[in-house]
Amino acid sequence: MSDIKDISGIGPVLSAKLNLLGIKTIEDFVAYKTKKLIEVPGLGEALVSRLKASASVMLAAELVHKKTKKETHRANGKNLTKKNIKKSSEKNKDNSKQKGEKKESKTKLRKEATNSKKTKKSRKKKSKK
């Protein structure tokens, strides 16, 4: 919520007068009845309508900004989620490939070890004969 002082044309003196009426934000100012605002010293009908128009534009811009920001966050959230899913599936593929390669290398090492044992045994047998 924006402060009443953010409206162009409302300074500290007018802001203090409006605060006494309970008007502290732009939303409060726009919602307040024009007839009651005209009764405030220093505010005429033309000034009140100009200030209300300005305040309404500011509120509309604020709403658009909030909506755009939310949509951007939602879109980014969806994109991030899709990216994270894609990355995690790629990592899983890479991990499974690496595991497969590790298994293959372990199997090769076992075969080589077994072969070397067999070779040693056959050498011993030959040397005994």
Contacts by 41-49, CB closer than 8 A, 24 or more apart? 41/17, 42/13, 42/14, 42/17, 43/14, 47/9
What mean pLDDT do residues 27-46 have?
Answer: 91
Reference 27, options 66, 71, 80; nearest CA is: 66
Instruction: Return the number of other C-beta atoms located less than 10 Å from residue 19's C-beta.
Output: 13
What domains can be seen in the chain, in order of their start residue?
4-117 (1.10.150.20)
Cα separation, 5 vs 7, whole angstroms: 5
Q: Name the token pair of 67.
A: 């909506």
pLDDT at position 8: 87
Residue 25 clears pLDDT 80, i.e. is over it: yes
pLDDT at position 65: 79
Cα separation, 29 vs 48, whole angstroms: 10
Residue 129 clears pLDDT 60, i.e. is over it: no
Is residue 46 within 8 A of residue 37, CB to CB? The reply is no
pLDDT at position 112: 73
Residue 120 clears pLDDT 90, i.e. is over it: no
Q: Report pLDDT digits (tens) over 41-80.
A: 888 999 999 999 999 998 888 888 777 766 666 666 655 5
Q: Report pLDDT digits (tens) over 81-114.
A: 555 556 666 666 666 666 666 667 767 777 777 7
pLDDT at position 105: 73
Cα separation, 9 vs 15, whole angstroms: 10
Cα separation, 18 vs 14, whole angstroms: 6
